[in-house]
Amino acid sequence: MINDKNSQGIVDIIAEYARKQSLFIMAYGTGCGAIEIPPTLTSRYDAERLGIRGAATPRQADVLLITGYLATKSLKRVIRVYEQMQAPKYVIGFGSCTINGGMYWDSYNTINLLDKYIPVDVYINGCMPRPEAVIAGFEKLKELIQSGNALGWKKYEDNLEEYRENQKKVIVNWQMPDYNW
Amino acid sequence: MDLLIKILGALATVVLAFTVGMTYGGLTRKVIARIQNRIGPPWYQNFLDNLKLILKKEAVHHGFMQHVAPLWLIAMSITTLMFIPILKDGAWFTNFNFDGDLILLLYLMVIGSLGMALGAGQTGNPNSAIGVTRGLTQMVGFEIPWVMALVALMIQYETTSITGLMDAAEAQGTWLVFSSPFATIAAILAMPGMFRYSPFDIVGAPAELASGPVSEFGGKYLSTMMTSGAIFAFVKLTLYVDIFFGGASNLVELVVKTFILYMFPVLWGAVSPRFRTEQAVKFFWGWPVLFGIIGLIQASF
Ligand code: SF4
């Protein structure tokens, strides 16, 4: 569903402004790209001036930042974390590994395209992307939020079966409740 | 008509406390950012965070107690706010200023934490349980010098009411910080424990306990707790200013005094690592208690 700017009421515009200016990130940093997150958040690049700050738990987070490759084992945790987050929630895929597998594309236990398993709103290209690129990715996410187009969480709710099917294909021993928010 | 004005007065007080508290929160983040050589978020960042949290479309809870814990907290914050004289001589709406006294306030101020403890317990998150234990332990630590300081004042000026203490300061012409310096030092040293900045951030303990008691609270619950925290910060600061620093006769004076006072735990926190629980308690039972005892001795002679 494309929600163009003209159909947003004043309340929506204020709400989306608050949402985009206050992004609590949950950094899922098992990939090597995670090393670029500390400089992004600390003194050198200071993401806090843009309203981006770390969240301690999934319940408080808005953005799930997947930094790099995901082993099928850790995908399970990512799904749990994602489902525990409170909507509206966004996902940023960080690094080539989340887009096409990167240098792990033919590995036996990593996934190649993150979007098949959880809905990604923004990809940040690079192996690994520098903090400038990360911040540019966040700016893109902010644009999407303001225009009401960052609707990955809705897509996930609507197509839950499809996502589940994909997830169960790679996660061999699925021992989770079928929905865990 | 009278009642209407009273209700409006109470509302105005809450709005004032909320605005000042949230702004202080934002300014604190700015100050800490400048200390770390960053630019930092704008001063209104906390308002945006709060707005975003309340606009979240979901907020899960795991049971009744978790559902009401944030309400409990905010109810307690607003109740304590009602008993605090905001300005001297009733220059702001008086609410219940003259009905309550310090002893009632001492009880009220801990009730919120207890409600929070029950709520956090129900989430079943182990981090919450550890956070709650630490919080209550820390409270045992700082409540002792804090109560000692207040009891010293009560003995010295033979009144338990806040307005009574303010009148005493007016009558003797100096702030109580000069006439009861030891009690003041004890109370001020207990203050970082109440505000939970480093080195006393053992309850939330970012990166260690994943924000402790609040770790399972999101969306509107977190927003309510943030609001309550802002109001309660204002309450505590105003109480300190009222008791020890002669109160304030207008809002500007109040804001200046409370902000300077607030910078004490903030700046200390900005340059400190975190204590362990027993170190925190040891700190409070050391110098602050000693000053409390001296204050008590001074008060009884
Ligand atoms: S994209 Fe490159 S840097 Fe990022 S996780 Fe993959 S291999 Fe590592």
Closest-approach residue (CA) in chain B for A53? B41
> What sign results for the dihedral spanned by CA atoms B177, B178, B179, B185?
positive
**Per-residue pLDDT reduced to its tens digit, B50-62:** 999 988 888 888 8
pLDDT tens by residue, chain B, 301 residues:
788 888 888 888 899 999 999 999 999 999 999 998 988 899 999 999 999 998 888 888 888 888 888 888 899 989 888 888 888 776 677 777 666 688 888 888 888 888 888 888 888 888 888 888 888 888 888 989 999 998 998 888 888 888 888 888 888 878 878 888 888 999 999 888 888 888 888 887 777 888 878 888 888 888 998 999 899 999 999 989 888 888 888 889 889 999 999 999 999 988 888 888 888 899 999 899 999 999 889 888 7
A35 pocket-lining for ligand 1 (C-beta < 6 Å)? no
Residue of B nearest to A21 (CA): B48
Report the nearest-CA residue for atom 2 of ligand 1. Answer: A127
The neighbouring-strand residues paired with A41 are none
Sign of the torsion formed by the C-alpha atoms of A78, A80, A85 and A90: positive
Domains (range + CATH), chain A: 9-170 (3.40.50.12280)
As given in the structure block, the two tokens for residue B6 are 């009273």
What's the CA gap between A169 and A117, in Å, rounded? Answer: 10
Task: Answer whether A137 contacts ligand 1 (Cβ < 6 A).
Answer: no
Give B-chain residues touching A57 at CB under 8 angstroms.
Answer: 127, 210-211, 215-216, 218
Instruction: Provide the token pair at A53.
Output: 């700050």
Is B62's Cβ below 8 Å from some Cβ in A?
A: no
Q: Are B118 and B135 in contact (CB under 8 A)?
A: no
- Give distance in angstroms: CA of A175 to centre of ligand 1: 29
CB contact under 8 A, A19 and B52: yes
Longest Cα separation, chain B: 61
Q: Chunked in runs of 10, what are the mean pLDDT values of chain A (181 residues)? A: 60 86 87 87 89 87 88 88 88 89 86 89 89 92 88 88 88 74 58
Residue B133 confidence (pLDDT): 87
Between CA B82 and CA B10 the distance in angstroms is 7
**Site from B36, B58, B215, B223 to mutate, A interface, most A CB atoms within 10 angstroms:** B58
What is this model's ipTM?
0.86
Is B237 buried (19+), middle (13-18) or exposed (0-12) by CB count in 10 A? buried
Q: Is A153 exposed, middle or buried (0-12, 13-18, 19+ CB in 10 A)?
A: buried
Instruction: Choose one of A30, A69, A105 to mutate for the ligand 1 pocket test, by most ligand atoms within 8 angstroms of C-beta.
Output: A69
Structure tokens at B243: 């008791």
Q: How far is B60 from chain A (nearest CA, A)?
A: 8
Chain B residues near residue A157 by CB distance under 8 angstroms? none
Annotated domain spans of chain B: 2-300
Q: Which pLDDT value is given to residue A1? A: 44
Residues in chain A: 181
Q: How far is the CA of B42 from the centre of ligand 1 (A)?
A: 33
For residue B144, give the 3-state DSSP assignment.
Answer: helix
Q: What is the mean pLDDT of chain B?
A: 86
The two tokens of residue A20 are 């985009």
Interface test with A, best of B28, B36, B38, B66 (most A CBs within 10 A): B38
CB within 8 Å of B75: residues ≥ 6 apart: none
Asked if the Cβ–Cβ distance from B36 to A42 is below 8 Å, we say yes
